[in-house]
Amino acid sequence: MSLQVDKNLLDALIDTETLYQEAPCGYVSLLPDGTIIKLNNTLLTWLNYTTKSLLYKKKFSDLLSKGGKVHFEMFFKPMITVRGHIKELSYEILKKDGSVLPVLLSAKAMKDALGSVMAINMAVYDITDRKSYEVELLKAKKTAEDEKRTFQFLADLIPEMIWTANADGDIDYVNQRFVQYFNLPERNFNLSSVASRIFKEDRKKFLNAWRESIRAGTDLHIEIRLDNYQGNSEWHLIKAVPYINQDGLVTKWFGSCISTEEHIMALKAKDDFISIASHELKTPITSLKGTLQLMDKIKNNHPDPLLHKMIDRANRNVNKTISLIDDLLNVSRINEGQLYLNKKRSVIFDLINDCCSHIKYETGYDILIEGDSSIEADIDEGRIEQVIINFINNAIKYAPESKLIEVGYEKNGQHVKIEVTDKGPGISPEKLFHLFERYYQVKNNSSGNAGLGLGLYICAEIIKKHNGKIGVKSELGKGSTFWFTLPANM
């Protein structure tokens, strides 16, 4: 490729004198006492002086701001004489109109054969842009500092413990309450120093859950005990959520430790009370049931229909009371870890059929059983019956219009799945998650026959004990399917 070049023009553009005059930086030469003896066009244009007004008339320090002048005389001049060169010192030069030009000066001393300084050649770099970036940067830094202080001020006002951690999960900030709770000597800590304040038995559980959250980038939600500064352990709910930046990366974690000690103590007191009360009630109510059964047997000797009616009603109410007390006793057993299973190989159809025929007879509901009659599983029959009866009774209680209840079961790999479906009102999605919690009841359900909100909780515990799973599918206006699975073999 051949280029058409105007050789004369090119020579002129790269001529040494042109390079000197039009360089992108200023050049100035001084006598050892600082008198200006030569300077280029670039510098003249920046400062707006004429050559005549400066050459041999002014010293370089005359162009500097007050502080700069002193520094130039006291530092720059002696230094250049001794060292022979100076690199990038920052000064402010005053332009002719009095405005300021921020510059960096680099200089070289020109010496004669005996080493005496004859002249000083200086390059002058305009750093106006850099200065304004620096100002912007400082402003941004100050704003960030202010925001950090506002966040810390707010965080210190919060009566619960809050903290942040870096992407690797190491704790890098804690609020005042955190410091007070553990009596940390200063805000100097890391994950292991904080982990040592976790109640010994809960430490591994926490660290495993935390590591898993960091690995998967998912929220942490765990209840553990923390040892306070007096060494007493108290229950806390630890929550942490990842902060994901615009590139989709987790750059920080925000966490809190909320004390649940009072709540847990109150629950425990309630559990203790319920345990004592239900045990105390069980004996007299069982004896009352015995008496009523006796009365039921002999009622035919008395023709009065009112008496018959009263005995029937009393029987129904005693049965209901016994079922409520049984629920409470079951919860006490679960709490005390005394829900024991007595497993044996069972034919699932026979089990379901027994439960259903009993309920069909008492309620008149139509219950359709569907499944392969050869399926078997290792289960505690009494407990699994309890779950199925609970599901069917709930369908009758909470979906009374649904005259057909379907009970289906199938074997799926190593599991047997059993489900109870009604065509009732269904349950709204946000409530589904809570159905298996202790004492949870859907408010405003139409049944006047509701229990204590313990039935499904007990079912969940029984299925958990069998190493199975439990759940529900439901659609408003269409109905619900409650299901559970059981391992087919032990």
Judged by beta carbon, residue 255 or residue 479, the one nearer ligand ADP is 479
Query: Measured from the CB of residue 299, what is the shortest distance to ligand ADP in angstroms?
Result: 31
Number of separate helices (H) and strands (E) present in the chain: 16, 17
Question: Taking the alpha carbons of 373, 378, 381, 384 in that order, is the dihedral positive or negative?
Answer: negative
Q: Going by DSSP bridges, is the β-strand pair 415-422/479-487 parallel, antiparallel, or unpaired?
A: antiparallel
Residue 190 contacts residue 177 (beta carbons within 8 Å)? no
Q: What are phi and psi of 32, to 5 degrees?
A: -55, -30
Query: Measured from the CB of residue 444, what is the shortest distance to ligand ADP in angstroms?
Result: 9
- Alpha-carbon distance 117 to 379, whole Å? 104
Query: Measured from the CB of residue 283, what is the shortest distance to ligand ADP in angstroms?
Result: 23
Query: Measured from the CB of residue 421, what is the shortest distance to ligand ADP in angstroms?
Result: 9
Locate tokens 């009616």: which residue?
309
Judged by beta carbon, residue 171 or residue 405, the one nearer ligand ADP is 405
The partner residues of 101 in beta bridges, in order of sequence, read 93
Tokens at 386, concatenated: 């309890």
Phi-psi sector, 273: left (phi>0), alpha (psi -120 to 50), beta: alpha
Judged by beta carbon, residue 77 or residue 383, the one nearer ligand ADP is 383
- Alpha-carbon distance 244 to 325, whole Å? 50
Judged by beta carbon, residue 253 or residue 457, the one nearer ligand ADP is 457
Judged by beta carbon, residue 254 or residue 440, the one nearer ligand ADP is 440
Query: Measured from the CB of residue 388, what is the shortest distance to ligand ADP in angstroms?
Result: 13
Residue 371 contacts residue 409 (beta carbons within 8 Å)? yes
Judged by beta carbon, residue 184 or residue 450, the one nearer ligand ADP is 450
Which amino acid would we find at residue 152?
Q
Residue 438 contacts residue 331 (beta carbons within 8 Å)? yes
Query: Measured from the CB of residue 365, what is the shortest distance to ligand ADP in angstroms?
Result: 12
Report the chain's C-alpha Rg in angstroms.
44
Query: Measured from the CB of residue 144, what is the shortest distance to ligand ADP in angstroms?
Result: 51
Judged by beta carbon, residue 255 or residue 424, the one nearer ligand ADP is 424
Residues that bind ligand ADP (CB under 6 A): 394-395, 398-399, 422, 424, 427, 435, 440-442, 445, 450-457, 480
